[in-house]
């Protein structure tokens, strides 16, 4: 199985390191590690969906594409910062953070719930890479983020299609789907992003501090969003929840996501400055 595009499709010699600010570079290094760690999520999904060959095959292909996102971002970061060793940073990340894969049931309580959460994650990554594409001054990074954002939108459609299948077999009430979706959106206390930021950007002799490194990551990541990116995410999230009543309020949800993001960014900046 292969991804839709290859690293050799990119014009690597057009990378323009001088245009790239440190905060964007730190964000991309962090994202590269998260994306490159997808094999563990494939193993997790294989366990949760054991016996559903349609889904587990799709999850294998999904994992190949996510891993390629990591390689593309990692290679770009190495070209911009020759001191960055992507393989070493990934090894450090994996030594200190592991996705709990040894499970038989979804951490969301059911397969249907797992698919709601997967849809939310893909709507988040799609809006994130769209935001990075629009903020990136470097043409190669813009190209990479555009390709990744398209893949993430396709991943959303893939998980949504399986969600509809499970919703017929093992239905969840609208309210439960909404609770899982909103819970996943605001699930930010996890170590994954903080530890990835730490592994990619902080010298190993500095002790890991979940709050400090998490704050540093989110301050950077949230600064790239414009409202339109979060309107896109709101549209996808309401589709995943599948409520006609809620979908009439998609624009308001997008506005709310944007306002919450700006509010959190101001708080993180204040915490960072303190
Ligand atoms: Fe990805
Ligand atoms: Fe994805």
Distance from the alpha carbon of residue 160 to the mean position of ligand 2, in angstroms:
12
The answer to whether residue 274 scores a pLDDT higher than 60 is no
Q: Write the DSSP assignment of 213-241 as a string of letters.
A: HHHHHHHHHHTT--HHHHHHHHHHHHHHH
Q: What is the pLDDT of residue 187?
A: 77
Q: What is the pLDDT of residue 186?
A: 79
Q: Which ligand is nearest to the CA of 122?
A: 2
Distance from the alpha carbon of residue 149 to the mean position of ligand 1, in angstroms:
8
Confidence band of 273 (pLDDT split at 50, 70, 90): low
pLDDT of 138-151, one tens digit each?
999 999 999 999 99
The answer to whether residue 75 scores a pLDDT higher than 70 is yes
pLDDT of 159-209, one tens digit each?
999 999 999 999 999 999 999 998 888 776 578 999 999 999 999 999 999
Confirm whether pTM is higher than 0.75. Answer: yes
Distance from the alpha carbon of residue 123 to the mean position of ligand 1, in angstroms:
11
Q: What is the pLDDT of residue 256?
A: 94
Confidence band of 264 (pLDDT split at 50, 70, 90): very high
Q: What is the pLDDT of residue 4?
A: 86
The answer to whether residue 121 scores a pLDDT higher than 90 is yes
The answer to whether residue 24 scores a pLDDT higher than 70 is yes
Look over the chain and give the mean of its residue pLDDT values, rounded to a whole number. 94
% of the chain with per-residue pLDDT over 70: 98
Distance from the alpha carbon of residue 231 to the mean position of ligand 1, in angstroms:
19
Q: Which ligand is nearest to the CA of 42?
A: 2
Q: Which ligand is nearest to the CA of 66?
A: 1
Among 75-79, 130-134, 242-246, which is the least confidently predicted range? 242-246
Q: What's the CATH number for 17-273? A: 1.10.620.20
Distance from the alpha carbon of residue 95 to the mean position of ligand 1, in angstroms:
21
Query: Residues with beta carbon < 5 A to ion ligand 2?
Result: 122, 152, 155
Half-sphere exposure at residue 177, Cβ-oriented, CA atoms within 13 angstroms: 25
Distance from the alpha carbon of residue 59 to the mean position of ligand 2, in angstroms:
10
Distance from the alpha carbon of residue 272 to the mean position of ligand 2, in angstroms:
30
Confidence band of 101 (pLDDT split at 50, 70, 90): confident
Q: What residue ranges do the domains of the chain occupy?
A: 17-273
The answer to whether residue 46 scores a pLDDT higher than 90 is yes
Q: What is the pLDDT of residue 245?
A: 83
Cα–Cα distance between 180 and 168 in angstroms, integer? 18
Distance from the alpha carbon of residue 164 to the mean position of ligand 1, in angstroms:
22
Distance from the alpha carbon of residue 258 to the mean position of ligand 1, in angstroms:
22
Distance from the alpha carbon of residue 155 to the mean position of ligand 1, in angstroms:
9
Among 73-87, 100-114, 254-268, which is the least confidently predicted range? 100-114
Contacts of 268 (CB under 8 A, 6+ apart): 215, 218, 219, 222
Q: What is the pLDDT of residue 243?
A: 82
């Amino acid at each position: 199985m292969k991804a839709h595009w290859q690293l050799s499709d990119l014009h690597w010699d057009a990378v323009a390191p001088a245009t790239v600010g440190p905060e964007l570079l730190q964000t991309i290094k962090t994202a590269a590690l998260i994306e490159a760690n997808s094999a563990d999520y494939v193993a997790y999904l294989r366990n949760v969906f054991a016996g559903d060959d349609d889904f587990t095959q799709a999850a294998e292909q999904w994992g190949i594409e996510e891993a390629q996102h990591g390689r593309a971002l990692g290679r770009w970061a190495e070209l911009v910062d020759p001191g960055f060793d992507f393989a070493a940073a990934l090894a450090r990340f994996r030594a200190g953070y592991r996705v709990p894969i040894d499970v038989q049931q979804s951490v969301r309580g059911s397969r249907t719930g797992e698919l709601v959460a997967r849809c939310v994650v893909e709507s988040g990554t799609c809006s994130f890479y769209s935001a990075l594409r629009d903020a990136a001054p470097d043409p190669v990074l813009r190209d990479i983020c555009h390709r990744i954002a398209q893949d993430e939108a396709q991943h959303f459609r893939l998980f949504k299609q399986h969600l509809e299948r499970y919703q017929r077999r093992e239905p969840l009430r609208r309210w439960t789907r909404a609770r899982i979706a909103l819970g996943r959106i605001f699930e930010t206390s996890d170590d994954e992003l903080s530890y990835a930021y730490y592994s990619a950007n902080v010298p190993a002799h500095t002790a890991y501090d979940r709050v400090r490194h998490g704050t540093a990551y989110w301050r950077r990541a949230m600064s790239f969003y414009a409202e339109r990116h979060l309107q896109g995410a709101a549209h996808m999230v309401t589709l995943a929840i599948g409520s006609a009543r809620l979908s009439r309020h998609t624009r308001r949800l997008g506005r709310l996501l944007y306002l919450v993001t700006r509010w959190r960014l101001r708080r993180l900046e204040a915490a960072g400055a303190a």
